[in-house]
A = this chain, B = another copy of it.
Amino acid sequence: MTNNQNLTVVIIGSGNVAWHITKQMLHKKVNVLQLYSPHNAKTLAEEFNLPYTDNLSLLKENADMYLFSIKDDAYQDVIAHFPYQNKCMIHTSGSVDINVFQSITENRGVLYPFQTFTKNIDLSFEKIPLCLEAGNQITKEKIEQLAKILSDNYHFISSEQRKQLHLAGVFACNFTNAMYRIAKEIVEKNGMDFSILLALIEETARKVQRHAPEKVQTGPAIRNDKKIMQQHLAIIENKEYKLLYQTLSSIIQKK
């Protein structure tokens, strides 16, 4: 028996994050005892060949850790019906405070995998920064043990930092993806294929892996090329895209 197999975990939730974490735990031989979800526990559990329940009162009692990966607004209800006290309870959310578990346990913590997860799109979990927080020393040790098993990259940060990081992720990921979608719309509307954008998208993300974004900013705004910016604004039909173009050009020029 390895150390990993000694660590026993119950997973609460069955969304994208639960799917990816469960997959990585099993890959790393963590002993996942059970999976709980009110709705689709069965689907996820059968995929991974795990015991499951949709009934909180049937939750296994002696896990080292109860790992919550549920919607932010579901915590209150699940905690109200959680059958045990003082268990080690860990959540994975970017925006929920560690003290969400305050009423039920002192052994509370957070393991927030800072990544964009889409079900069935595989990724290399080892590279994901895991952002940890723990309410006491015993939980800190346990959560660090789990983090080390799952990823090469973990950090202890506060709930306040985590909220700010989550916001930063909206810009770096969700809004960036929205930029890709707008660019796709523009090329497709003009008889070109989205694939023509892929090398540019890849290179833009690759550049900042080694260089600060403010050092590698290119384009008409940073050059203050007013003529091109006017031409662009003249051909953008969508009003929100026009506002976006103006706001972002102004932001770029301020640095």
Contact = CB atoms under 8 A, between A and B. Distances in A.
Interface string A183-222: 1101101111010111111111111110111101111111
Given A116-B203, A172-B201, A207-B116, A192 B157 contact: yes
B232 A170 contact: yes
Contacts of A197: 114, 168-169, 172
Interface in A150-203: 153, 155, 157, 160-161, 163-184, 186-187, 189-192, 194, 196-203
Contact of A163 (B72, B127, B221, B235): B235
Interface centre among A72, A190, A221, A225 (most CB of B within 10 A): A190
Given A118-B218, A187-B165, A207-B118, A129 B172 contact: no
B174 A218 contact: yes
Chain A's interface: helix, strand, loop or mixed, by majority? helix
Contact of A116 (B200, B244, B252): B200
Contacts of A252: 174, 178
B157 A176 contact: no
Q: What is the count of identical protomers in the complex? A: 2
A245 B236 CA distance: 20
Contacts of A176: 176, 179-180, 201, 204-205
A73 interface: yes
Interface of A: 72-73, 95, 114-118, 121, 123, 127-129, 131, 153, 155, 157, 160-161, 163-184, 186-187, 189-192, 194, 196-209, 211-214, 216-222, 225, 227-228, 231-232, 235-236, 240-241, 243-245, 247-248, 250-252, 255
27 contacts: A72-B228, A114-B199, A114-B200, A118-B218, A123-B206, A155-B192, A155-B196, A164-B187, A164-B190, A166-B232, A167-B232, A168-B187, A169-B183, A170-B232, A170-B245, A171-B182, A172-B197, A172-B200, A173-B201, A175-B244, A177-B216, A178-B217, A178-B251, A180-B213, A181-B214, A184-B214, A202-B209
Given A123-B203, A169-B183, 11 more contacts: A114-B200, A127-B199, A167-B232, A169-B200, A170-B219, A170-B220, A171-B182, A174-B252, A175-B245, A181-B213, A184-B214
